[in-house]
Amino acid sequence: AQKITQTQPGMFVQEKEAVTLDCTYDTSDPSYGLFWYKQPSSGEMIFLIYQGSYDQQNATEGRYSLNFQKARKSANLVISASQLGDSAMYFCAMREGRQAGTALIFGKGTTLSVSS
Amino acid sequence: DTGVSQDPRHKITKRGQNVTFRCDPISEHNRLYWYRQTLGQGPEFLTYFQNEAQLEKSRLLSDRFSAERPKGSFSTLEIQRTEQGDSAMYLCASRGLAGNSGANVLTFGAGSRLTVL
Protein backbone atom coordinates (compact mmCIF):
# COMPACT_ATOMS: atom_id res chain seq x y z
CA ALA A 1 0.00 0.00 0.00
CA GLN A 2 1.13 3.52 -0.73
CA LYS A 3 2.38 5.28 2.35
CA ILE A 4 1.93 8.74 0.82
CA THR A 5 -0.71 9.44 -1.80
CA GLN A 6 -0.91 12.60 -3.87
CA THR A 7 -3.88 12.25 -6.19
CA GLN A 8 -3.45 15.43 -8.21
CA PRO A 9 -0.83 15.02 -10.95
CA GLY A 10 -1.26 18.66 -11.95
CA MET A 11 -2.89 21.78 -10.59
CA PHE A 12 -3.42 25.15 -12.23
CA VAL A 13 -3.97 28.43 -10.43
CA GLN A 14 -3.87 32.11 -11.25
CA GLU A 15 -1.57 34.54 -9.55
CA LYS A 16 -2.78 35.84 -6.18
CA GLU A 17 -5.24 33.00 -5.74
CA ALA A 18 -4.97 30.31 -3.07
CA VAL A 19 -4.44 26.65 -3.97
CA THR A 20 -4.65 23.42 -1.98
CA LEU A 21 -2.45 20.43 -2.79
CA ASP A 22 -3.76 17.16 -1.42
CA CYS A 23 -1.84 14.55 0.53
CA THR A 24 -3.04 11.49 2.39
CA TYR A 25 -0.82 9.16 4.37
CA ASP A 26 -0.94 5.69 5.83
CA THR A 27 0.80 4.66 9.03
CA SER A 28 0.01 2.72 12.17
CA ASP A 29 2.77 4.44 14.13
CA PRO A 30 1.41 7.05 16.53
CA SER A 31 4.56 9.13 16.17
CA TYR A 32 5.30 10.54 12.73
CA GLY A 33 6.18 13.72 10.92
CA LEU A 34 4.79 15.15 7.72
CA PHE A 35 6.75 17.37 5.36
CA TRP A 36 6.20 19.30 2.17
CA TYR A 37 9.00 19.98 -0.27
CA LYS A 38 9.08 22.07 -3.44
CA GLN A 39 11.16 21.03 -6.44
CA PRO A 40 11.57 23.67 -9.15
CA SER A 41 12.88 22.77 -12.59
CA SER A 42 16.44 23.26 -11.31
CA GLY A 43 16.00 20.01 -9.37
CA GLU A 44 16.82 21.00 -5.80
CA MET A 45 14.33 19.91 -3.14
CA ILE A 46 13.35 22.88 -0.97
CA PHE A 47 11.79 22.31 2.44
CA LEU A 48 8.54 24.22 2.96
CA ILE A 49 6.75 23.10 6.11
CA TYR A 50 6.64 20.41 8.81
CA GLN A 51 3.85 18.99 10.97
CA GLY A 52 4.42 16.56 13.84
CA SER A 53 1.76 14.00 14.66
CA TYR A 54 1.39 15.33 18.19
CA ASP A 55 1.25 18.99 17.20
CA GLN A 56 -2.03 20.49 18.28
CA GLN A 57 -2.06 23.34 15.81
CA ASN A 58 -1.70 23.36 12.06
CA ALA A 59 1.76 24.44 10.93
CA THR A 60 2.20 27.73 9.10
CA GLU A 61 5.24 29.20 7.36
CA GLY A 62 4.58 32.49 5.63
CA ARG A 63 2.26 31.83 2.67
CA TYR A 64 2.30 28.09 3.37
CA SER A 65 0.00 26.35 5.79
CA LEU A 66 -0.63 22.69 6.41
CA ASN A 67 -4.23 21.56 6.87
CA PHE A 68 -3.64 18.59 9.17
CA GLN A 69 -6.65 16.32 9.67
CA LYS A 70 -5.37 13.43 11.75
CA ALA A 71 -8.53 11.33 11.74
CA ARG A 72 -8.66 11.50 7.96
CA LYS A 73 -4.90 10.99 7.67
CA SER A 74 -4.58 14.00 5.44
CA ALA A 75 -1.98 16.75 5.36
CA ASN A 76 -2.92 19.16 2.61
CA LEU A 77 -0.67 22.08 1.71
CA VAL A 78 -2.34 25.44 1.26
CA ILE A 79 -0.49 28.13 -0.64
CA SER A 80 -2.05 31.55 -0.28
CA ALA A 81 -1.58 34.40 -2.76
CA SER A 82 0.14 32.27 -5.42
CA GLN A 83 3.11 33.74 -7.24
CA LEU A 84 4.62 32.83 -10.61
CA GLY A 85 7.67 31.52 -8.76
CA ASP A 86 5.50 28.92 -7.04
CA SER A 87 5.33 26.94 -10.29
CA ALA A 88 7.11 23.68 -9.44
CA MET A 89 6.64 20.08 -8.34
CA TYR A 90 5.43 19.68 -4.75
CA PHE A 91 6.08 16.56 -2.74
CA CYS A 92 4.47 15.40 0.46
CA ALA A 93 6.64 13.16 2.66
CA MET A 94 6.42 11.29 5.94
CA ARG A 95 8.86 10.09 8.57
CA GLU A 96 7.52 7.29 10.75
CA GLY A 97 8.53 6.60 14.32
CA ARG A 98 10.82 8.32 16.78
CA GLN A 99 14.18 7.05 15.59
CA ALA A 100 16.23 10.03 14.59
CA GLY A 101 17.64 8.60 11.39
CA THR A 102 14.48 7.27 9.79
CA ALA A 103 14.31 8.17 6.12
CA LEU A 104 11.52 10.17 4.53
CA ILE A 105 8.97 8.44 2.33
CA PHE A 106 7.80 10.63 -0.54
CA GLY A 107 4.64 10.76 -2.61
CA LYS A 108 4.67 11.00 -6.40
CA GLY A 109 4.21 14.73 -6.39
CA THR A 110 1.89 17.35 -7.82
CA THR A 111 2.90 19.79 -10.54
CA LEU A 112 1.66 23.29 -9.80
CA SER A 113 1.41 25.81 -12.62
CA VAL A 114 0.76 29.45 -11.75
CA SER A 115 -0.36 31.75 -14.53
CA SER A 116 -0.57 35.54 -14.71
CA ASP B 1 26.82 27.10 5.54
CA THR B 2 27.23 26.35 1.84
CA GLY B 3 24.48 23.75 1.67
CA VAL B 4 24.73 20.22 0.31
CA SER B 5 26.99 19.92 -2.73
CA GLN B 6 26.82 17.15 -5.31
CA ASP B 7 29.23 16.38 -8.11
CA PRO B 8 28.95 15.91 -11.00
CA ARG B 9 25.63 17.55 -11.74
CA HIS B 10 25.26 15.58 -14.96
CA LYS B 11 26.82 12.34 -16.13
CA ILE B 12 26.27 10.57 -19.42
CA THR B 13 27.74 7.11 -19.69
CA LYS B 14 27.50 3.98 -21.77
CA ARG B 15 25.87 0.86 -20.48
CA GLY B 16 28.31 -1.31 -18.59
CA GLN B 17 30.51 1.53 -17.38
CA ASN B 18 31.04 2.43 -13.72
CA VAL B 19 30.08 5.83 -12.36
CA THR B 20 30.72 7.54 -9.04
CA PHE B 21 28.86 10.45 -7.47
CA ARG B 22 30.10 12.56 -4.60
CA CYS B 23 28.11 14.35 -1.92
CA ASP B 24 29.45 16.95 0.50
CA PRO B 25 26.87 17.50 3.26
CA ILE B 26 26.45 20.53 5.49
CA SER B 27 29.53 20.37 7.67
CA GLU B 28 27.86 19.98 11.07
CA HIS B 29 25.35 17.38 9.85
CA ASN B 30 26.15 13.83 10.96
CA ARG B 31 23.37 12.11 9.00
CA LEU B 32 23.56 11.64 5.25
CA TYR B 33 21.01 10.09 2.88
CA TRP B 34 20.99 9.02 -0.74
CA TYR B 35 17.78 9.00 -2.77
CA ARG B 36 17.00 8.15 -6.38
CA GLN B 37 14.37 10.01 -8.38
CA THR B 38 13.12 8.89 -11.78
CA LEU B 39 11.15 11.11 -14.13
CA GLY B 40 7.70 11.98 -12.81
CA GLN B 41 8.21 10.20 -9.50
CA GLY B 42 9.06 11.20 -5.97
CA PRO B 43 12.48 10.47 -4.47
CA GLU B 44 13.02 6.88 -3.33
CA PHE B 45 15.28 6.12 -0.37
CA LEU B 46 18.50 4.24 -1.13
CA THR B 47 20.72 4.38 1.94
CA TYR B 48 21.54 6.29 5.13
CA PHE B 49 24.71 7.04 7.09
CA GLN B 50 25.18 8.27 10.61
CA ASN B 51 28.73 9.55 10.72
CA GLU B 52 30.73 6.86 8.87
CA ALA B 53 28.35 4.00 9.65
CA GLN B 54 25.92 2.87 6.98
CA LEU B 55 22.88 2.11 9.09
CA GLU B 56 20.19 1.35 6.54
CA LYS B 57 20.01 0.17 2.93
CA SER B 58 16.93 -0.06 0.77
CA ARG B 59 16.26 -3.18 -1.27
CA LEU B 60 16.52 -0.81 -4.25
CA LEU B 61 20.26 -0.78 -3.60
CA SER B 62 21.31 -3.78 -5.67
CA ASP B 63 24.77 -5.33 -5.38
CA ARG B 64 25.91 -3.09 -8.23
CA PHE B 65 25.48 -0.09 -5.96
CA SER B 66 27.86 0.78 -3.15
CA ALA B 67 27.98 3.82 -0.92
CA GLU B 68 30.68 4.95 1.46
CA ARG B 69 31.29 7.72 3.93
CA PRO B 70 34.78 6.87 5.10
CA LYS B 71 35.51 9.79 7.41
CA GLY B 72 32.00 10.74 8.31
CA SER B 73 32.10 13.79 6.07
CA PHE B 74 31.63 13.45 2.29
CA SER B 75 30.02 10.38 0.76
CA THR B 76 30.33 8.57 -2.56
CA LEU B 77 27.78 6.49 -4.40
CA GLU B 78 29.21 4.12 -7.02
CA ILE B 79 27.20 2.24 -9.60
CA GLN B 80 29.02 -0.59 -11.31
CA ARG B 81 28.11 -2.04 -14.72
CA THR B 82 25.45 0.61 -15.30
CA GLU B 83 22.17 -0.32 -16.96
CA GLN B 84 19.70 1.91 -18.77
CA GLY B 85 17.32 1.49 -15.85
CA ASP B 86 19.83 3.29 -13.65
CA SER B 87 19.11 6.55 -15.47
CA ALA B 88 17.76 8.85 -12.80
CA MET B 89 18.52 11.82 -10.58
CA TYR B 90 20.57 10.81 -7.55
CA LEU B 91 19.85 13.11 -4.63
CA CYS B 92 21.90 13.49 -1.49
CA ALA B 93 20.53 15.00 1.71
CA SER B 94 21.90 15.68 5.17
CA ARG B 95 20.47 16.30 8.59
CA GLY B 96 21.88 17.40 11.93
CA LEU B 97 21.67 16.13 15.49
CA ALA B 98 18.36 16.23 17.34
CA GLY B 99 18.06 19.39 19.36
CA ASN B 100 19.65 21.66 16.76
CA SER B 101 17.44 24.10 14.92
CA GLY B 102 15.95 22.51 11.83
CA ALA B 103 16.88 19.11 13.17
CA ASN B 104 13.84 17.44 11.69
CA VAL B 105 14.52 18.75 8.21
CA LEU B 106 16.46 17.06 5.46
CA THR B 107 18.48 19.51 3.38
CA PHE B 108 18.91 18.29 -0.18
CA GLY B 109 21.57 18.92 -2.75
CA ALA B 110 20.74 19.79 -6.36
CA GLY B 111 21.27 16.20 -7.44
CA SER B 112 23.41 14.30 -9.94
CA ARG B 113 21.56 13.38 -13.11
CA LEU B 114 22.69 10.11 -14.68
CA THR B 115 21.92 9.14 -18.26
CA VAL B 116 22.91 5.64 -19.34
CA LEU B 117 22.99 5.16 -23.12
Q: How high is the pLDDT of residue A96?
A: 86
Taking contacts as CB-CB distances below 8 angstroms, the residues of chain A near B55 are: 101
Residues with pLDDT less than 70, chain A: 1, 98-101
How many other CB atoms are there within 10 angstroms of residue A61's CB atom? 12
Q: Which of A52, A103, A106 sits opposite B42 (nearest CB)?
A: A106
Q: How high is the pLDDT of residue B103?
A: 43
Chain A residues with at least one Cβ partner in B under 8 Å? 4, 33, 35, 37, 42-47, 50, 52, 91, 93, 95, 100-101, 103-109
Q: How high is the pLDDT of residue B59?
A: 87
Asked if B108 and A44 touch (Cβ cutoff 8 Å), the reply is yes
Q: What DSSP character marks residue A98? A: S
Q: What is the pLDDT of residues B88-110, one digit of tens each?
A: 999 999 987 654 444 468 899 99
Label residue B1 by pLDDT band (50, 70, 90).
Answer: low
Q: How high is the pLDDT of residue B95?
A: 87
Q: What is the largest CA-CA distance in chain B?
A: 45
Taking contacts as CB-CB distances below 8 angstroms, the residues of chain B near A101 are: 31, 48, 50, 55-56
Q: Is the pLDDT of residue B17 over 90?
A: yes
Label residue B28 by pLDDT band (50, 70, 90).
Answer: confident
Q: How high is the pLDDT of residue B43?
A: 95
Distances (CA, A) of B49 to A24, A55, B56, B72, B79: 28, 28, 7, 8, 18
Q: What is the pLDDT of residues A34-64, one digit of tens each?
A: 999 999 998 889 999 999 999 889 999 999 9
Residue of B2 and B39 predicted with greater confidence: B39
Q: Is the pLDDT of residue B22 over 90?
A: yes
Q: What is the mean pLDDT of residues B55-80?
A: 92
Mean pLDDT of chain B: 90
